[in-house]
Amino acid sequence: MPPIATPASDSPASDRLARLSAEGVAIWLDDLNRARLTSGNLAELVRNRHVVGVTSNPTIFDKALSKGSAYDEQIADLALRGVTVGEASRAITTYDIRWACDVLRPVYDATGGVDGRVSLEVDPRIAKDESGKTVAEARGLWWMVDRPNLFIKIPATQQGLPAITQCLSEGISVNVTLIFGLDRYADVIDAFMSGMEKAAALRGTAAIANARLAYELYEQKFATSRWEALAAAGANRQRPLWASTSAKDPAYDDTRYVVELVAPGTVNTMPEATIEATADHAPLRGDTVRGTYDEARKVFADLEALGIAYDDVTAVLESEGVDKFSASWAELLDTIDKEMARMTGKAG
């Protein structure tokens, strides 16, 4: 892969790092502390030394906390709040990791997610736990950092292998550590592939399954005597509407959410590009909703088995949807306000 950053100078050191990067070696910094972040040192290494990732571990953070005063204010606040040592550790480390993820985000975007990663380790004391604590810890850290370019570092113990598979299947990116033997590395590769297979099997299926089950509910509700009485009184029948059905993921066919949601009495609101794509090449095959309800229910059962809770997902989508609409509304009002001010000035 070509270098991500162009060195500020043509020094021999920069030339050698550029060559190493050009040879396909991703250069990661094996260190992280708050001083690197506040001073801009990490950003400088990204710009001038072809650094495209960062890894951390308990030793690195212990060293960072033992020197200087960069963490004093946060530690004082945590102590005042009376939090546990474990909670304080997560708060301190995730703060630095989140910041580092933001510094590396341009690299992540530029490489399509291949690089620009920052690694945070789960508690190594649970490396041999078989109760699921590693997965629970990985989920917690993934949620706390809340950055797509995070890596959760999991030890490659025998007990860690299923945790690696589970995390990957849930969309949690994993950096596997403590691999010493070839046999164990083979196990890690298998765990990786198993996790990706599970994730790929369900990728992009939830939205269609949800819409299909909504149509089933629609059929059930409008087959009741309650609706029949309304219909007899002249009421128009409600129609399910599939909203803004462009395929946001370029990996999907651009008519996916048209072809897979064909049913009588529905509305499909398409951007013009999707209308043109449907007219040009949509592989229409008739009703693709009725008769799929059991299959759709299985999709959600499989997602639930992976730890993805339907109610949690819909709650987040609703909250984010309201926030986005509110932001758009505010932007609209701001634009109208500026245009009114401009026209008032013009009239004067």
- Please state, in angstroms and rounded to a whole number, the distance separating the CA atoms of residues 165 and 326: 38
In a 3-state reduction of DSSP, which class is residue 54?
strand
Positive or negative CA dihedral for 278, 283, 284, 288?
A: negative
Is residue 145 a contact partner of residue 98, using CB atoms and an 8 Å limit? yes
What would the two tokens of residue 229 be? Answer: 């009485």
Q: Measure CA 120 to chain center.
A: 16
In a 3-state reduction of DSSP, which class is residue 71?
coil
Is residue 188 a contact partner of residue 158, using CB atoms and an 8 Å limit? no
- Please state, in angstroms and rounded to a whole number, the distance separating the CA atoms of residues 169 and 138: 13
- Please state, in angstroms and rounded to a whole number, the distance separating the CA atoms of residues 218 and 170: 30
**Residue 248: Cβ-neighbour burial (10 angstroms; 0-12, 13-18, 19+):** exposed
Please pick, among 63, 153, 248, 324, the residue that the annotation labels catalytic.
153
- Please state, in angstroms and rounded to a whole number, the distance separating the CA atoms of residues 140 and 156: 19
For residue 27, the cross-strand partners are 51
Go through the chain and tell me how many residues it has. 348
- Identity of residue 81: R
**Whether residue 128 lies in the annotated active site:** no
Catalytic residues, by residue number, are 153
